[in-house]
Chain A
């Protein structure tokens, strides 16, 4: 990090929040706007309230008592869910954490490296590489999943952790964002200064560039984490062994069985509640990183 200290640089400002819009300056209350937004919030929270109350009910109460009347069976339901097939639910949770955590970490690293190179180097073929990668943004992973299955089948890799982990490391959208962050937050002077001092390119990237891009990289990580956590089709296609399932595929299977065994419904509902809690918690903690301006290409974090 000596390069940053010695180089006479002026970091580009990535759009500061608007000064006039600070908390003190709110004008007189606009009740119409406030009420409409609160209605929107109510609509968005409704299913969350529902799952909170429904997961406290036992099987018969679910279909007999008023929807939003809570009961007292939450703990029983959790115990029952944990006991179901030797705790396969928690296995699904761990699998999901593994797919999303490791996948998003690797994906962020690859995106950061590629985006940095595309923003800060000039080399023949650069625009072609970027255009081809960018087309990948709009080739949805969902359409790739079925051919990916057949390719993995050729190598006997279906129904393994790899089959879900590997295809989700490459994220054209992550590379696109990383290029924007690198262009906006890593000054060329700093890179030049480090080069003059004899630092290798990978060292410049991993010690200087990544720390400057860090807020943006958190955003990429979150995007990819949520994308993998939410992905249903890829694991649904790739996996047959329910010990490898992520939570989405596991709960979908449980709901399917519920059609014939209604007692499983309470387990499905309790499972739904438990599975969204970690993501919601992460979301609330890290929400300041969710500021994405898709079109203008500036990201404030």
Chain B
């Protein structure tokens, strides 16, 4: 990330404002000042991001050992157990099942959400679309609704007796699908996340579409390209980086789904306490008081997320900071 030309650019003005001309003052302005200004950010980062991660890793290699009957002080102590918690976590069929569910959930959610977001963004950007302002705001609006509240709203909409869908199905004399049953609840939750996320992703893509100069389209038009050709052959490739970024963010959000299934649990009996990996971590840590295996499981989830981060870093560093000096 070091940009060589920035070094020369910043180095020139320094002598001009050097007061005493000593090396100490230049060290101060070059090194101490920026670090002093970065201190709040760095301290908060270390305290609330780095330290918890280090602590979780430490806990994941520990275990409580009970000696004798486990009575009296000193009967319980924390010991180092190596990878035992990891082996146990990875071998746990509940964990494997929760990962499987989350992968299926991501497979359903991410393509549907981003496909719709891209479609909406292209339509908003197309010529001749009417009421585009209204549609844009309406589709973006769910982003303002917390996941707990949207799960609550959709949960009621899925509930037979309250739901308008059941009303329609009843009127037509059909058997309504039970969205809160174990077969379909995954789709029900994916729908809640899609509802909350499609607008945000649409706005991200629409913003990058707006940055493209129109002349490109005019030229394509003169060559006889249709509106659809322009959308698929020119607009989509141009905003491809946005699509990649939103996909990555969505994938990461998928891995940590927690609020939606937790909120729906009182309304459905097909959601176990280990329905997603994070719900299992929560249960292990707080219901079963097994913080060590909870720590091991969350480290596994974090590592999986980190794999995606590296992909992200590569893309961002190539694209984002060309304009700095």
A127 CA to B51 CA, complexed, in Å: 21
Contact B156 A50 (CB under 8 A): yes
Tell whether, in the assembled complex, residue B149 and residue A275 are in contact, meaning their CB atoms are under 8 Å apart: yes
Tell me which residues across on chain B come within 8 A of A43, comparing CB atoms: 195
Interface size class of A (residues with CB under 8 A): 35 or more
Number of B residues with CB within 8 Å of any CB on chain A: 129
Which of A63, A114, A166, A248 contacts B48, CB < 8 Å? A166
B325 neighbours in A (Cβ, 8 Å): 183, 188
Asked whether, in the complex, the Cβ of A19 is within 8 Å of the Cβ of B214, the reply is yes
Interface: B189 (CB within 8 A):
no
Residues on A with C-beta less than 8 A from B137 are 284, 287
**Chain B minimum-CB-distance residue to A205:** B37
Question: Given A147-B52, A232-B147, does the pair A139, B302 have CB atoms closer than 8 Å?
Answer: yes
Partner of B152, one of A26, A131, A268: A268
Alpha-carbon distance A118/B325, docked complex (angstroms): 11
Cβ–Cβ contact B150 & A47, under 8 A: yes
Q: Is A34 an interface residue (CB 8 A)?
A: yes
Across the interface, which residues of A come within 8 angstroms of B42, CB to CB?
A: 129
Which of A121, A131, A259, A284 contacts B1, CB < 8 Å? A131
- Per-residue 0/1 for B247-269: is the Cβ within 8 Å of any A Cβ (1 yes, 0 no)? 01100110110110011011100
A139 to B203, alpha carbons, bound, how many Å? 23
> In the assembled complex, which residues on chain B have CB atoms less than 8 Å from the CB atom of A132?
45
Chain B residues whose C-beta falls within 8 Å of the C-beta of A148 in the assembled complex: 48, 52
> Shortest distance in angstroms between B305's beta carbon and chain A's nearest beta carbon?
6
| Contact for B128 among A30, A133, A139, A292, CB less than 8 A | A30
Interface residues of B in 22-49 (CB under 8 A from A): 30-31, 33-35, 37-38, 40-42, 44-45, 47-49
Supposing A170-B48, A294-B204, A295-B315 touch, asked if A143 and B309 sit within 8 A by C-beta, the answer is no
> Looking at the complex, which one of B143, B155, B282 makes contact with A146 (CB distance below 8 Å)?
B282
**Which listed residue (B41, B150, B282) contacts A133, Cβ 8 A?**
B41
Contacts of A179 in B (CB 8 A): 321
Query: Out of B164, B218, B244, which one reaches A50, CB within 8 Å?
Result: B164
Q: Does B173 contact A (CB under 8 A)?
A: no
CB closest chain-B residue, reference A233 = B258
Q: Scan A101-144; emit 1 where CB is below 8 A from any B CB, else 0.
A: 00000000011011011110111101101111111111110111
Q: Give the 3 A-B residue pairs with the shortest CB-CB distance, closest first.
A: A295-B241, A127-B1, A30-B128
